[in-house]
């Protein structure tokens, strides 16, 4: 091993790690970067190793400060993206140099790297630049983040595309693959650029990707944990707008010539051996077609993964054992209703049950279940499809949404004739599901006889497990929002770290409220009582409002008070969140 490398390993405390020495020997033999080899080894502290490297080479240490302004955009014109991204070299600033007589002699470019021993990188920079360069050493993670912000995603690919062709025609794009992790040609293409966008979204746990043409720019945004975040992209990307959108439409098997009407399609992707289903929707706008992608990982969702509290889980178990009746999940679009329904079906999916669904569209493909996608253009609607389903001897039926009276009445008849029916309804809370069905035209006696329970749910951001810490909250504030004083637990907050990109949150969880249709509530429904009476009776039966359920999740350290309050404002109904310890009891369910 070279003496220089051996000294660096000793100074950083890595010399005693057998895996490190083996990785370095292999890198030296294969003539690859020993810095990358060491950083990839388990047990190596990145900061200790790179600071030792900088000290040995007498190079200045670079690390961005919290208050530091973003790098000037002119820097990316000095160092080509292809060189910067391939060798992970981040231009950080320029400074004026002066001659001996005090006059300005030119500019010097300062570049941060985590591998200052890369001879190829030094040669490429020297061949590309005519100005002097001062090298700095920094953390690999910080340099990669800085490159993303300065150049934008796929900037090296973008430069090659513009050098190769001003625009790509549809025929040039048609035969490319959609396997995201398949090795790509050195020859850059629009295909690679689009794949980078989707792959980056999957790595960031995005649920949606929006490609939105602006007047002088093509904006790309990810929805991560329910919040939209803009993706840094190369400048002048507007010139490739038509090609990027054409590629997405071809992947979704849409008509690329039709730009005046909205279109819907699907893309089947593969990343690291995992199947990803993508729903694609295009919308014509004055600046061009806007494309939205909904990313759906084909992974099994179970009731255990819903994170139900101890007082809700027994209720769900009893409902899933029912031979007939309707269970409705309510909430706005994007509140996780479909995920909950699929979790219920996964629990019921056994060989002795025949389960049939009708959806618009089919979001998750489930083996062992017959799934039907509605096609209104050929007359296959929820109501017509449901009639056919009931002639097919099902035990369990799932209807994607109760949109109209006809579908709802068929579902009610199915429940009354011995079928267990699951569906969704757009209401603010569980109690509102009763009045919504009656307002749609369903007779109250049918609602009380067929429906077994109304669920309502919302999604809140989940605290990052790597950086959450205890929070101090004033007692007066807790009292003002009706926070339950009798429950025990620790209120936490998100500090922010690299794992959560500084947000303090990572992932989302559902919060619920469940209104069981008990005998007492049946009587009130039949007599067309006021909704306030429904609520009063439900509370007597053990109903806990969604805000109260959310506060339980706060005390278990899973989310924050602010998150719960932000999503339950419409469900509060001006009543104080329940602090009652009365659990929901399945036996109260009406027969």
Question: Residue 16 pLDDT more than 70?
Answer: no
Question: 81-104, pLDDT tens digit by residue?
Answer: 778 888 888 888 888 876 666 556
Q: Are residues 389 and 515 in the same domain?
A: yes
Question: 320-330, pLDDT tens digit by residue?
Answer: 999 999 999 99
Domain that holds residue 9: 1-58
The neighbouring-strand residues paired with 109 are: 94, 133
Pairing of strands 274-285, 325-330: unpaired
- In order of 265, 333, 506, the CA distances from 567 in angstroms are 31, 13, 17
Question: 174-191, pLDDT tens digit by residue?
Answer: 444 444 554 444 334 678
* C-alpha Rg value of the chain to the nearest Å: 29
Q: Are residues 347 and 400 in the same domain?
A: yes
In the prediction, which pLDDT does 276 show?
Answer: 82
Task: Decide if 438 is inside a domain.
Answer: yes
Task: Decide if 145 is inside a domain.
Answer: no
The neighbouring-strand residues paired with 61 are: 137
Q: Which residues contact 552 (CB under 8 A, 6 or more apart)?
A: 309, 484, 487
* Residue 417, domain CATH: 3.40.50.300
Q: What is the 3-state secondary structure (H, E, C) of 96-121?
A: EEECCCCCEEEEEEEEEECCCCCHHH
The pLDDT > 90 percentage for the chain reads 33
Q: Are residues 311 and 259 in the same domain?
A: no
Q: Round to whole Å and give the CA distance between 200 and 208.
A: 12
Task: Decide if 13 is inside a domain.
Answer: yes
| Nearest in space to 335 (alpha carbons), one of 543, 568, 542, 500 | 568
Question: Residue 158 pLDDT more than 60?
Answer: no
Under DSSP, is residue 167 helix (H, G, I), strand (E, B) or coil? coil
- And the tokens for 548? 């109260």
- In order of 332, 454, 471, 572, 590, the CA distances from 429 in angstroms are 10, 9, 29, 9, 20
Task: Decide if 377 is inside a domain.
Answer: yes
The pLDDT > 70 percentage for the chain reads 83
Asked if residues 424 and 402 have their Cβ atoms less than 8 Å apart, the reply is yes
Stretch 561-565: mean pLDDT: 92
Q: Are residues 201 and 272 in the same domain?
A: yes
Q: Are residues 354 and 446 in the same domain?
A: yes
Q: How many domains does the chain have?
A: 3
Residue where a domain stops, chosen among 266, 297, 328: 297
In the prediction, which pLDDT does 208 show?
Answer: 93
Task: Decide if 240 is inside a domain.
Answer: yes
- In order of 141, 160, 180, the CA distances from 184 in angstroms are 24, 14, 9
- And the tokens for 115? 């591998």
Q: What is the 3-state secondary structure (H, E, C) of 389-441?
A: HHCCCCCEEEECCCCCHHHHHHHHHHHHCCCEEEEEECCCCCCHHHHHHHHHC
Q: Give the mean pLDDT of the chain.
A: 82
Q: Are residues 271 and 293 in the same domain?
A: yes
Q: Compute the half-sphere exposure of residue 30: CA atoms within 13 Å on the CB side of its CA.
A: 11
Q: Are residues 389 and 513 in the same domain?
A: yes
Q: Are residues 344 and 450 in the same domain?
A: yes
Task: Decide if 115 is inside a domain.
Answer: no
**Peptide bond between residue 361 and the one before it cis (omega within 30 degrees of 0):** yes
Stretch 151-177: mean pLDDT: 51
- In order of 182, 251, 335, 460, 496, the CA distances from 205 in angstroms are 20, 21, 17, 15, 17
Q: Round to whole Å and give the CA distance between 201 and 505.
A: 17
Residue where a domain stops, chosen among 271, 297, 323: 297
Q: What share of the chain is helix, strand, coil (3-state, %, to 5)?
A: 40, 25, 40
Q: Are residues 390 and 529 in the same domain?
A: yes
Least confident of 121-125, 155-159, 167-171: 167-171
In the prediction, which pLDDT does 53 show?
Answer: 84
Task: Decide if 480 is inside a domain.
Answer: no
Q: Are residues 318 and 450 in the same domain?
A: yes
| Nearest in space to 254 (alpha carbons), one of 220, 208, 289 | 289
Residue where a domain stops, chosen among 58, 85, 100: 58
In the prediction, which pLDDT does 565 show?
Answer: 92
Asked if residues 337 and 364 have their Cβ atoms less than 8 Å apart, the reply is no
Q: Round to whole Å and give the CA distance between 426 and 254.
A: 30
Question: Residue 354 pLDDT more than 70?
Answer: yes
- In order of 179, 282, 294, 297, 361, the CA distances from 268 in angstroms are 9, 17, 12, 10, 15
* Residue 291, domain CATH: 3.30.450.90
| Nearest in space to 334 (alpha carbons), one of 292, 365, 366 | 292
Residue 158: other Cβ atoms inside 10 A: 26
Q: Are residues 307 and 414 in the same domain?
A: yes
Asked if residues 482 and 547 have their Cβ atoms less than 8 Å apart, the reply is yes
The pTM (predicted TM-score) of the whole model is 0.71
Least confident of 99-108, 276-285, 307-316, 334-343: 99-108
Asked if residues 344 and 369 have their Cβ atoms less than 8 Å apart, the reply is no
Question: Residue 242 pLDDT more than 50?
Answer: yes
In this structure, the dihedral spanned by the alpha carbons of residues 28, 34, 39 and 42, taken in order and rounded to 10 degrees, is 10
Task: Decide if 106 is inside a domain.
Answer: no
- And the tokens for 321? 């054992």
Q: Are residues 410 and 523 in the same domain?
A: yes
């Amino acid at each position: 091993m070279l003496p220089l490398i051996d000294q660096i390993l000793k100074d950083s405390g890595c010399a005693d790690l057998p895996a490190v020495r083996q990785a370095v020997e292999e890198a030296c033999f294969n003539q690859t970067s020993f810095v990358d080899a060491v950083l990839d080894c388990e047990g190596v502290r990145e900061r200790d190793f790179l600071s030792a490297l900088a000290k040995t080479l007498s190079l200045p240490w670079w690390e961005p400060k919290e208050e530091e302004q973003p790098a000037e955009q002119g820097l990316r014109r000095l160092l080509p993206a292809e060189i910067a991204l391939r060798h992970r070299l981040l231009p950080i600033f320029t400074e004026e140099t002066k001659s001996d007589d005090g006059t300005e002699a030119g500019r010097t470019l300062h570049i941060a790297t985590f591998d200052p021993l890369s001879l190829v990188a030094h040669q490429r920079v020297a061949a590309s630049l005519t100005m002097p360069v001062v090298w700095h050493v920094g953390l690999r993670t910080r340099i990669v983040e800085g490159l993303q912000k300065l150049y934008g995603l796929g900037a090296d690919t973008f430069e090659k595309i513009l050098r190769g062709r001003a625009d790509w025609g549809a025929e040039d794009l048609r035969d490319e693959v959609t396997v995201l992790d398949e090795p790509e040609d050195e020859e850059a293409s629009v295909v690679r650029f689009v794949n980078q966008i989707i792959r980056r979204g999957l790595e960031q746990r995005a649920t949606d990707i929006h490609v939105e043409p602006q007047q002088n720019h093509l904006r790309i945004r990810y929805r991560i944990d329910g919040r939209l975040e803009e993706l840094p992209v190369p400048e002048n990307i507007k010139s490739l707008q038509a090609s990027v959108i054409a590629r997405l439409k071809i992947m979704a098997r849409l008509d690329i010539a039709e730009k005046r009407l909205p279109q819907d399609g699907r893309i089947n992707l593969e990343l690291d051996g995992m199947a990803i289903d993508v729903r694609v929707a295009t919308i014509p706008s004055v600046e061009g077609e806007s494309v939205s992608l909904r990313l759906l990982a084909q992974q099994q969702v179970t009731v255990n993964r819903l994170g139900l509290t101890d007082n809700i889980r027994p209720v769900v178990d009893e409902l899933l054992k029912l031979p007939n009746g309707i269970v409705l999940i309510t909430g706005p679009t994007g509140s996780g209703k479909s995920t909950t329904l699929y979790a219920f079906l996964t629990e019921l999916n056994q060989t002795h049950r025949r389960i049939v669904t009708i959806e618009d569209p089919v979001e998750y493909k489930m083996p062992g279940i017959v799934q039907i996608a509605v096609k209104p253009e050929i007359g296959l609607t929820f109501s017509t499809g449901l009639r056919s389903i009931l002639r097919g001897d099902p035990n369990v039926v799932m209807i994607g949404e109760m949109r109209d009276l006809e579908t709802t009445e068929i579902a009610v008849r199915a429940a009354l004739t011995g079928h267990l029916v699951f569906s969704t309804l757009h209401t603010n809370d569980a109690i509102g599901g009763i009045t919504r069905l009656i307002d749609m035209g369903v007779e109250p006696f049918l609602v009380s006889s067929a429906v077994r329970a109304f669920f309502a749910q919302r999604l809140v951001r989940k605290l990052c497990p790597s950086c959450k810490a205890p929070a101090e909250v004033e007692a007066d504030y807790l009292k003002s929002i009706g926070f339950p004083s009798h429950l025990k637990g620790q209120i936490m907050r998100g500090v922010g770290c690299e794992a959560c990109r500084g947000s303090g949150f990572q992932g989302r969880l559902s919060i619920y409220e469940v209104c069981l249709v008990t005998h007492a509530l049946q009587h009130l429904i039949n007599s067309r009582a006021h909704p306030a009476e429904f609520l009063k009776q439900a509370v007597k039966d053990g109903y806990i409002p969604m805000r109260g359920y959310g506060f339980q999740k706060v005390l278990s350290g899973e989310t924050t008070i602010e998150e719960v309050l932000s999503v339950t404002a419409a469900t509060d109904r001006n009543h104080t969140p329940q602090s009652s310890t009365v659990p929901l009891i399945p036996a109260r369910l009406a027969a």
